[in-house]
Amino acid sequence: MLEFFKTLGHAYAADSAAMDGGAIVERRLSDLRGFFADAEAFETALAREDSLLYRVTAIEPADGDGDLHYGLGILFPGKVGDEYYLTKGHLHSTREAAEVYLGLRGEGCLLLEDEQTGESRLEPLGTGRIVYVPGHTAHRTMNTGTEPLTYIGVYPANAGHDYGAIAERNFRKVLVEENGRPVLKDREAGS
Ligand code: S6P
Ligand code: ZN
């Protein structure tokens, strides 16, 4: 039961995704070993600098049935080889839990992969875009622009985050830059 006196409103900055309150998770390049297709480019980039790739500030007001949690994300621009900076990606532990993403600033995409059929979809995410992520769908954010991509994801309090399956076999598709444009390709075996 939500305590009535708890803070129910938060100020955030759409460009920096700064927000008071909430638990902050930061992911650096070193946290994403094995997630990018080009392992050699990954090690070269990491040797140069263990860059901050993204930060999520999560607000979890209550945990009961019907409650919601939300996270404010900022994913910085950059590439490993030709592949755009990305989030780890996950399924929800409660598989039927859906999520709504609201793009605040920047240019990017959400890669969606149906766990049951393996079918992929790429949805633009950024300024003025909302994306509905159905249940049973792995989701990963990618920044295809030159500015930070900021967004909010709202999900059921009981969703939970399951990183295991993605860490093991990764998404079937990769988003790479070709001739200055994002192109979705099949992941090559072993990458
Ligand atoms: C949570 C929601 C987002 C992600 C964020 C980071 O359900 O989908 O807030 O947590 O985009 O991605 P990841 O895959 O590292 O949690
Ligand atoms: Zn999610």
Cβ–Cβ contacts within 10 Å for residue 104, how many? 23
Long-range CB pairs of 7-11, under 8 A, 24+ apart, other chains included? 8/61, 10/59
Token look-up 């759409």 returns 14
pTM over 0.75: yes
Query: Quick check: 81 and 37 in contact, CB under 8 A?
Result: yes
Cβ–Cβ contacts within 10 Å for residue 133, how many? 20
* pLDDT value of residue 8: 86
Q: What angle do CA 81, 84, 90 make, to 5 degrees?
A: 120
Pocket-forming residues, ligand 1, beta carbon under 6 Å: 56, 71, 73, 87-90, 99, 139, 141, 153, 155, 161
* pLDDT value of residue 1: 53
Ligand 2 centroid – CA 48 distance (Å): 30
Contacts of 66 (CB under 8 A, 6+ apart): none
* pLDDT value of residue 65: 93
Which residue's alpha carbon is nearest to atom 15 within ligand 1? 88
Which residue's alpha carbon is nearest to atom 9 within ligand 1? 71
Q: What is the pLDDT of residues 152-165, one digit of tens each?
A: 999 999 999 999 98
Atom nearest to 72 CA in ligand 1? 9
Ligand number nearest CA of 101 is 1
What is the per-residue burial (b if ≥16 Cβ within 10 Å, else e) of 48-70? Answer: eeeeebbbbbbbebeeeeeeebb
Q: Which residues of the chain are modeled with pLDDT < 70?
A: 1-6
* pLDDT value of residue 179: 97
Query: Quick check: 130 and 165 in contact, CB under 8 A?
Result: no
* pLDDT value of residue 115: 97
* pLDDT value of residue 98: 98
Domains of the chain, start order? 4-186 (2.60.120.10)
Q: Where are the beta strands (DSSP E) in 15-118?
A: 23-28, 52-59, 68-75, 79-80, 83-84, 91-92, 99-105, 107-114
Contacts of 148 (CB under 8 A, 6+ apart): 15, 16, 17, 74, 75, 76, 77, 105, 106
- Our mutation pick for probing the ligand 1 site, out of 110, 137, 161, 171, counting the most ligand atoms within 8 A of Cβ, is 161
